Amino acid sequence: MLRTLLGSIGLVILVLGLTGCGAASAVAETIQCTGDFEATIYQGPSAGLSLVGPLSLQVDAAGNLTGELTANDGALIEVTGQAIGRSINLVFNLGEDKRIFGVGSLENDIRDCKGLSGGPFTGPEPGDSGDWGYGIGGRS
């Protein structure tokens, strides 16, 4: 009887503990990071193409990214991707079924909205390659 009572108390404590873990790790809100972005294609059919301008990214609790690059020529380029910890993947939709895909590293966790990031990218044409950099200047 005592063993059954102790087992029941242990089960209640376990359930309460697991429920408390969920409450303790509250869902983080979506944040918006802004900064200066630059990408240049060095090789391939699109060599010389550059994307330069302010990049604004919304980051949800799961690290999903959506945003917009305002290119120096005034064009608005849709951006999607994912950031987990200090790793980042970006897709720039140039329209007309053309995209640039970037992978890279972040100096800080994306949710800190500060620091430098960068890496290689490919596209929009087969054989295109270059690099990119993003100086995240804070939240907006």
Distance of CA 116 to the CA centre of its chain: 13
pTM metric for this prediction: 0.78
How confident is the chain (140 residues) per 10-residue block, as mean pLDDT? 48 42 54 95 96 96 96 94 95 96 95 95 97 85
Two structure tokens written together for 53: 């301008």
Contacts of the segment 3-7: beta carbons below 8 A, 24+ positions apart: none
Q: What is the pLDDT of residue 139?
A: 67
Distance of alpha carbon 75 from alpha carbon 13, whole angstroms: 57
